[in-house]
Each structure stands twice: as C-alpha cells, then as structure tokens.
Amino acid sequence: MLTIITYSLPIGPKPNTSKRKKSHKKYPYLLRNLKIDRPNRVWARDITYIPVRGGYLYLVAVIDLYSRFVVNWSLSNTMTGEWCTEVLQEAVRLHGVPQILNTDQGSPFTADAFAGYVINDLEISLSMDGKGRAIV
C-alpha cells in the first residue's frame, strides 16, 4: 500500500531575515577579488527560516568558504543577536578564528553587540554583502 503524505506551506509573508535596522552600521564587502586559498581565511554565515506548524524555526549556519565545510549551525524559535553570537563562539572554539567573517546586512549581524564582538573581541574583519548580492 502506497501512502502519500503532503503538506502545504503557509501562504503569507515570509520572515525577512535580511532586513537591516537603519540605525545599525553597514560594513564593507571585503571579498571582491579576494583569493580564498586556505581554511579559516573566510567564513560566511546566514540565517534562513523553516516553516513549521504554527510558525517558523530559524536556522543559522557558519561555513568555511575554502572547504565548504559547515563549521557550526543551530536552530532556534527566535532570531536574536545573542543566539548568533553563541553559534559563532562555538564555531571558533571548535575550529579557530577566521580572518574574515562575511554576512548579509540582517539586523542580528549589524547589531552593535554582535559586530563589536566579532571586530573587537575576536579581531575578525567583518564583511557584508551589498543589497541584492545573493542574486547577482
């Protein structure tokens, strides 16, 4: 007997995980013409959402752009700067400190607490994709 299981995605607006708060600082894109020739030179991270019954779960992933290895990831039912910082702290603990961290301009990444931690505490250069960068 063949059972077909289907479900429909919710219809409505999707969470905007890349929206930057106007009061947050925007950082320059540092990867243009950069040769990524070794592990831990550049990490990238992004947040996406997964629709579930009653709402969404957020998935953040940190990837080493040289090896394409996911150095850390996490699921959460809320999208906060603290959560983003904890995921990065664990990635650094497990794999060392990258030279550059590239993100989009989403508010969890442009928040002063997160950007300050990356730049001042970890001494990582922070790079941000420009508007529309993912689709170019």
All structural domains of the chain, each given as residue ranges with its CATH number in brackets, are: 42-130 (3.30.420.10)
From first to last of its 136 residues, what are the pLDDT tens digits of the chain?
A: 555 554 444 444 455 555 555 555 788 999 999 999 999 999 999 999 899 998 889 999 999 999 999 999 999 998 888 888 999 999 999 999 999 999 988 777 777 888 889 999 999 999 998 754 444 3
Pairing of strands 69-76, 100-103: unpaired
Q: How far apart are CA 20 and CA 100, in angstroms?
A: 20
Give the pLDDT score at 131. Answer: 58
Give the pLDDT score at 23. Answer: 57
> Based on the number of CB atoms within 10 Å of its own CB, is 37 exposed (0-12), middle (13-18) or buried (19 or more)?
exposed
Q: How far apart are CA 109 and CA 102, in angstroms?
A: 10
Q: How far apart are CA 72 and CA 61, in angstroms?
A: 6
